[in-house]
Amino acid sequence: MSRWLLPLLILTILIIVVEIYTFQAVKTVSKNKLLRFFFLTASIGIYIYSFIVLITYDRSNGQTPEFQMAMGLLLTASIPKLVVIFVLFGEDLYRGVLKLISAISSGETESLAGRRKFISQIALGLAAIPFVSFIYGIVQGKYNYKVLKYQLTFKDLPAAFDGFTITQISDIHSGSFTNKEKIQYGVDLINQQNSDMLLFTGDIVNNKADEMDNWMDVFDKLSAKEGKYSILGNHDYGDYMDWENPQDKIDNFQKVKDIHEKIGFDLLLDEHRYLERDGQKIALLGVENWGKGFNQAGDLQRAAAGIHKEDFKILMSHDPSHWEEKVKKDPLNYQLTLSGHTHGLQMGIEIPGWFKWSPSQYVYKQWAGLYEEGGRFINVNRGFGYHAFPGRVGIWPEITVIELKKG
């Protein structure tokens, strides 16, 4: 318990500072005591509920709806208040500088001027933007599926595969789902792409195989003309919960792998398949999860056994750090890698073709979308589902369609 005392104390101080600043803005803008009371009770209620849920969270149960709701409430309540602090702290710095200048020039110390109402109005107005965005992200944003299409040209693509189409999905996280109608809509949208091949790049559950029980009849409707292939993600191993005994974890892992076959996917576990057209072929490889700093189960050399450098290769690897650390430098030349994992942190700002930002970029060099280096490409899918935070803000669930062209 003692090791948690200092972090808890720091967090408590930060929360108090945040609440004092934000309450100052509310007091300056409105004299309505009922509004002030509602603000305080709502803030305190959210903190109490969230901390109770997080403190009593039992890892043996996996990620629960209550846990996700607590995370959602905390972020929805906290992020807008950080905006308020940024604005008001800037005003405090300005007032402090004016006081210092006055003291130097006149030799007298004057009290700080009162907080200006219009500054507080600006602060609360700006804070309303992320507040409304988070509410939308929780209610609707997590179902705001986007189809992103790319056409990639390769000189060494066999001519028979010119125009070959791939639909990629990733990070289903079925344990987070609550609305079957919305998920069915997403699955129908995948099928509407009518691609030659469907690839799923890992994390079919949050932790436990039975999270897919209510969704098997939805995802087994996924179709592709020339096959459906999949790999495992870091959450599929059951590493993020406490098991009563080691055998339970082993049994769960086997059940997770069995899910893929039940919904019609060929699960690639450090192995490959050749796809043939008119006597020509390309190689599809799938590795188990390999992430920088954790769970490096994947064995690329094993997956590539029997593959030749001159073969055109598509690699499925869940974590894009694998591409950055290993794949892009591999002498076997992996022309196209497909990953997921990051979710784009499920929050950020994207203006297609102009601007793209998310806190995820401070952790992963390749965090969302298509990247190219030395003629080798990686696409990092933003994910179909959601995890931990029960919504998406600015980073929408993604269905990727890639058309291969002969250069």
Q: How far apart are CA 286 and CA 273, in angstroms?
A: 9
CA atoms 253, 256, 262, 264: torsion sign = negative
Q: Looking at this protein, which amino acid is placed at residue 135?
A: I
- Last residue of some domain: 102, 118, 135? 135
Q: pLDDT value at position 4?
A: 56
Do 28 and 168 have their domain in common? no
- pLDDT tens digits for range 98-149: 777 777 776 655 555 556 788 888 889 999 999 999 999 999 999 999 999 9
Do 216 and 319 have their domain in common? yes
* Backbone region of residue 330 per phi and psi (left: phi > 0; alpha: psi in -120 to 50; beta: other values): beta
Angle in degrees, CA 73, 388, 1, rounded to 5: 80
> Is the overall model pTM greater than 0.85, yes or no?
yes
Q: pLDDT value at position 321?
A: 97
Do 117 and 147 have their domain in common? no
Using alpha carbons, list the distances in angstroms from residue 346 to 128, 144, 349, 359, 382.
19, 12, 10, 10, 8
Q: pLDDT value at position 3?
A: 55
Q: How far apart are CA 100 and CA 388, in angstroms?
A: 46
Do 150 and 111 have their domain in common? no
Q: pLDDT value at position 114?
A: 56
Q: pLDDT value at position 33?
A: 87
- Our measurement of the distance from residue 111's CA atom to the centroid of its chain's CA atoms, rounded to an integer in Å, reads 48
Do 109 and 156 have their domain in common? no
DSSP 145: -
Do 258 and 383 have their domain in common? yes
Q: How far apart are CA 21 and CA 403, in angstroms?
A: 52
List beta partners, residue 339: 380
Distance in angstroms between the alpha carbons of the first and the last residue of the chain: 62
Q: pLDDT value at position 275?
A: 97
Residues with Cβ within 8 Å of residue 8, at least 6 apart in sequence:
none
Among residues 300, 178, 319, the alpha carbon closest in space to that of 236 is found at 319
Q: pLDDT value at position 63?
A: 80
- pLDDT tens digits for range 284-323: 999 999 999 878 899 999 999 999 999 999 999 999 999 9
Domain that holds residue 354: 141-406
Q: pLDDT value at position 262?
A: 98
Do 35 and 127 have their domain in common? yes
Q: pLDDT value at position 1?
A: 44
Q: How far apart are CA 341 and CA 332, in angstroms?
A: 24
Q: How far apart are CA 324 and CA 314, in angstroms?
A: 16
Q: How many independent structural domains does the chain possess? A: 2
Do 167 and 86 have their domain in common? no
**How confident is the prediction along the chain (407 residues), in pLDDT tens digits per residue?**
445 567 767 877 888 888 888 888 888 888 888 988 998 899 999 989 988 888 888 777 778 888 899 999 999 999 999 999 888 888 778 777 877 777 777 665 555 555 678 888 888 999 999 999 999 999 999 999 999 999 999 999 999 999 999 999 999 999 999 999 999 999 999 999 999 999 999 999 999 999 999 999 999 999 999 999 999 999 999 999 999 999 999 999 999 999 999 999 999 999 999 999 999 999 999 999 999 987 889 999 999 999 999 999 999 999 999 999 999 999 999 999 999 999 999 999 999 888 999 999 999 999 999 999 999 999 999 999 999 999 999 999 999 999 999 98
Q: How far apart are CA 34 and CA 12, in angstroms?
A: 26
CA atoms 199, 204, 209, 213: torsion sign = negative
Q: In the chain, helix, strand, coil percent, each to 5?
A: 45, 20, 35
Question: Half-sphere exposure of 327 toward its Cβ, with a 13 Å CA cutoff?
Answer: 36
Q: pLDDT value at position 109?
A: 53
- Last residue of some domain: 135, 165, 198? 135
Do 83 and 146 have their domain in common? no
Return the H-helix or E-strand segment holding 231.
Answer: none
Do 124 and 158 have their domain in common? no
Do 120 and 151 have their domain in common? no
Among residues 269, 229, 265, the alpha carbon closest in space to that of 253 is found at 269
- Last residue of some domain: 135, 167, 185? 135
Among residues 232, 222, 226, the alpha carbon closest in space to that of 263 is found at 222
CATH number of the domain to which 385 belongs: 3.60.21.10
Tell me the DSSP string of 270-290: SEEEEEEETTEEEEEEE---E
Q: How far apart are CA 231 and CA 201, in angstroms?
A: 5
Q: How far apart are CA 90 and CA 121, in angstroms?
A: 14
Do 159 and 220 have their domain in common? yes
